[in-house]
Chain A
Amino acid sequence: MQYILFLLRRAAHSILVLLGLSIIIFIISRVMPGDPARMALGPYATQEQVAALRQEMGLDLPLWTQYVRYMSNLVQGQFGKSLISERDVRLDLAHHLPATLELIMMTMFWVVVIGIPLGALSAVKKDTAFDNLTRGFSFTAVVIPGFLVGIGFQLLFGYWLDWFPITGRLSPGTVVTQKITGLYLIDALILRDWHLFFDALKHILLPSLALSMAGIGQVIRITRSSMLEIETQDHVQVVRSYGVPNLLVTFKYILKPAFIPTLNILGLLSASLLGNAFLVESVFSWPGVAKYGVNAMLQKDINGLVGVVLLIGLGFLLANLIVDMIIGLLDPRIRLKGEAE
């Protein structure tokens, strides 16, 4: 019961954040220098044409009226038409989102399956050569920007070794017979289309690994340090003193409480991933939403921009809601009391 209340509180909090975000992005999109209508129509359009577009978009109205319109559209889930593609922004987003979603999910996958075991092992083998190596790696991984790693990967695995393709989501000959989720790996699994699966995997490997490096580094560090901290706590000494096997102490009594800070980091990571995704998407010509968003910004496509920003905000809040949910499941103090110590 407390748990439901806790989740509801977090959800309400998320809605407030989203509201704040919508206001901020409204203000930014209206005060950005440059005239969206002029940018959309190009330098050869006449003054009348520009004025007509401004009127159509409601840009000639007072700011307050614009805001009311904007909000009432948002509430109905309307973002308007993109000034670049001249399509409904929702269509554009639906078109670009799966590519980014797939990239980020794959990235998160690496972060979890590489970062957590390395961090845990590093804590268990504290001060050994393995630990020093892992720490060195995690430190380096955090410091080097993802797009540089991406370029490095492209040179090494794409250009010199020629193991992996370096651009796009699929090879030219590969077709997706049926779009189900738009995430090719998952669609391929559903369709049992192994050719598609391996082709998509080959393409996503380098960009997702490049994007995951910083996260892997952070997760290694936080997992290691929180395990070492919990290791010294009395309750671990108690189970140790009674001769409970070491493996069980480590993977049950230390790892479970140590997981909570790691999960928090994963939630935060989802935000920085979206930021870094743009650069990695650019490097690998990945047709994702981050790239679409930056184009919208550069070309003053205000409707497209609002759509992307709110979508990303929503994604971040959802990711954190999921993290809160899992933390609640792990930590009885949250589940039963609605608060952490």
Chain B
Amino acid sequence: MTLTYKQLLEIKDLTVDFDRFGGKARVLNRVNLAVAKGEKVGVVGETGCGKSVTMKAVMNLLPTRRVTVGGSIFYKGRDLLTLDRFARRQITGKEVVMIFQDPMTSLNPVFTIGQQMEDIIGYNLAGAKRGLRLPKRLRQEAREQAARFLAAVKLADPERILNSYPFQLSGGMRQRVLIALALANQPDLIIADEPGTALDVTTQAQILELMDQLVQERGIALLMITHNLGVVRETTDRVYVMYAGTVVETAATDALFAEPLHPYTKGLLDSVPKLHGQGLSAGIEGSVPDYLQMNPGCRFYPRCPQALPKCEFEPPEPRSISENHMVSCHLIG
């Protein structure tokens, strides 16, 4: 069965509730987000605004207990949330892979890089008919593939890397290993959760450039979470701005930087130190409020410098400004 689809990944009205001590926390509130084939999309927003939760929902990594997920996540036209565990595993982990934030903690300390890569690549090679033990032939094949992709991320001496334990490698090398792992499954979409933020600036820049180049060459779509607006500007085609579990604005990257519409986006762009102009600007006061005590109207209302009376009780609907530019704010339209 082939479905026709416009977007590679399309998240529709995704809602995630966590049962917490003291009540239900609506951590994602009707998030809409799409990535087209080969497109590079950025997601920005303050810490705690639900970026990682969104990606974990796609990757099926949210805890199964005390969590309710609503809405849909279409991948190539099929709703992942309606698939069973096994069907879903044919997609996430294979066609859609995720690179985690911190290379220092993303590899198991008591197994060699080779052991981990063999298992991960091997089980994907084995496909549906996998047992608990990988056949020797597959293990061998997985290892060869691992070595090839370690070379592709410009790690010298892949054989030595495969035989190393994580603690024997630097942070930059570990991050490259994780990128190699992501590429090795020949995915259509890579989700990168703040790649390299745990590394020093120079290494991070190298890693981002490498990743950009590798996905470009292979036509892989990239969904990148980051705090770094400079990175967004340089690498992505389109940006989503998230605040407190909602998407407040999305636009082509250039358009968003040229003409931010939502007060939160403006604040975010303002908080970047500028090289010219009047030095540092103020940014936005405060931080993301407690999810258990969210404002019933616009979630940004308590911190918004331009709030209207109706913002307190009436949640704003997303509005199209131009073909690619959407914003959720009562001030607009």
CA distance A253 to B116 in the complex (A): 9
Contact A257/B109 with A245-B132, A333-B167, A337-B167 known, Cβ cut-off 8 Å: yes
B124 lies within 8 A of chain A by Cβ: yes
Q: Tell me which of B94, B100, B112 has the highest count of chain A C-beta atoms within 10 A of its own C-beta.
A: B100
A162 lies within 8 A of chain B by Cβ: no
Looking at the assembled complex, report how far the CB atom of A58 sits from the nearest CB atom of chain B, in whole angstroms: 54
- Encode contact with A along B86-102: 1 for CB under 8 Å, 0 otherwise: 00010011100110111
B275 lies within 8 A of chain A by Cβ: no
A234 touches B100 (CB 8 A): yes
B65 lies within 8 A of chain A by Cβ: yes
A235 touches B65 (CB 8 A): no
Chain A positions 257-309 with a Cβ under 8 Å from a chain B Cβ: 257
B106 lies within 8 A of chain A by Cβ: yes
- Encode contact with A along B41-76: 1 for CB under 8 Å, 0 otherwise: 000000000000000000101000100000000000
* Chief secondary structure at chain B's binding surface: loop
Looking at the assembled complex, report how far the CB atom of B54 sits from the nearest CB atom of chain A, in whole angstroms: 14
A253 touches B111 (CB 8 A): yes
B120 touches A244 (CB 8 A): yes
A240 lies within 8 A of chain B by Cβ: yes
Contacts of A105 in B (CB 8 A): none
CA distance A333 to B97 in the complex (A): 29
A333 touches B93 (CB 8 A): no
A333 touches B109 (CB 8 A): yes
B6 lies within 8 A of chain A by Cβ: no
Contacts of B112 in A (CB 8 A): 332
Contacts of B168 in A (CB 8 A): 336
A48 lies within 8 A of chain B by Cβ: no
B265 lies within 8 A of chain A by Cβ: no
A235 touches B120 (CB 8 A): no
Closest to B65 in A: A127
A248 lies within 8 A of chain B by Cβ: yes
A86 lies within 8 A of chain B by Cβ: no
A332 touches B167 (CB 8 A): yes
- Encode contact with B along A318-341: 1 for CB under 8 Å, 0 otherwise: 000000000000111100110001
A175 lies within 8 A of chain B by Cβ: no
Contacts of B178 in A (CB 8 A): 238
A234 touches B105 (CB 8 A): yes
A173 lies within 8 A of chain B by Cβ: no
Interface size on A, residues (CB 8 A): 28
A331 touches B110 (CB 8 A): yes
A242 touches B185 (CB 8 A): yes
Contact A257/B108 with A241-B59, A243-B94 known, Cβ cut-off 8 Å: yes
A190 lies within 8 A of chain B by Cβ: no
A241 touches B108 (CB 8 A): no
Chain A positions 54-74 with a Cβ under 8 Å from a chain B Cβ: none
B167 touches A242 (CB 8 A): no
A178 lies within 8 A of chain B by Cβ: no
Contacts of A333 in B (CB 8 A): 109, 165, 167
Chain A positions 216-264 with a Cβ under 8 Å from a chain B Cβ: 233-245, 247-248, 252-253, 256-257
Chain A positions 180-234 with a Cβ under 8 Å from a chain B Cβ: 233-234
CA distance A63 to B288 in the complex (A): 72
B123 lies within 8 A of chain A by Cβ: yes
Looking at the assembled complex, report how far the CB atom of A11 sits from the nearest CB atom of chain B, in whole angstroms: 24
A242 touches B108 (CB 8 A): no
CA distance A331 to B165 in the complex (A): 10
A243 touches B110 (CB 8 A): no
B185 touches A235 (CB 8 A): no
B108 touches A253 (CB 8 A): yes
CA distance A236 to B124 in the complex (A): 17
CA distance A27 to B168 in the complex (A): 48
Looking at the assembled complex, report how far the CB atom of A244 sits from the nearest CB atom of chain B, in whole angstroms: 5
B167 touches A341 (CB 8 A): yes
Contacts of B28 in A (CB 8 A): none
Contacts of A336 in B (CB 8 A): 165, 168
Contacts of A248 in B (CB 8 A): 119, 123, 132
B222 lies within 8 A of chain A by Cβ: no
B123 touches A237 (CB 8 A): no
Closest to A247 in B: B132
CA distance A150 to B111 in the complex (A): 42
Contact A332/B110 with A127-B65, A243-B89, A244-B120 known, Cβ cut-off 8 Å: yes
Q: Which of these, A127, A252, A256, A332, contacts B165 with CB under 8 Å? A: A332
Contacts of A240 in B (CB 8 A): 61
Q: Which of these, B59, B101, B109, contacts A341 with CB under 8 Å? A: B109
Looking at the assembled complex, report how far the CB atom of B63 sits from the nearest CB atom of chain A, in whole angstroms: 9
Contacts of A253 in B (CB 8 A): 108, 111
CA distance A114 to B214 in the complex (A): 50
A241 touches B93 (CB 8 A): yes
CA distance A247 to B111 in the complex (A): 17
B61 touches A245 (CB 8 A): no
Contacts of A238 in B (CB 8 A): 100, 106-107, 178, 181
Q: Which 9 A-B pairs have the closest CB atoms?
A: A243-B93, A243-B89, A234-B105, A235-B108, A242-B93, A332-B165, A242-B120, A234-B106, A241-B59
A residues bordering B, Cβ < 8 Å? Answer: 126-127, 233-245, 247-248, 252-253, 256-257, 330-333, 336-337, 341
List 29 A–B pairs whose Cβ atoms lie within 8 Å, in order of A's numbering. Answer: A127-B65, A234-B100, A235-B107, A235-B108, A237-B61, A238-B106, A239-B116, A240-B61, A241-B59, A241-B93, A241-B98, A242-B181, A243-B94, A243-B124, A244-B119, A244-B120, A245-B132, A248-B119, A248-B123, A253-B108, A253-B111, A256-B110, A256-B111, A331-B109, A332-B109, A332-B110, A333-B165, A333-B167, A336-B165
| 14 new A-B contacts at CB < 8 Å, known A248-B123, A257-B109 | A233-B105, A235-B105, A237-B61, A238-B106, A238-B181, A241-B97, A242-B93, A242-B94, A242-B185, A245-B132, A253-B108, A256-B111, A333-B167, A341-B109
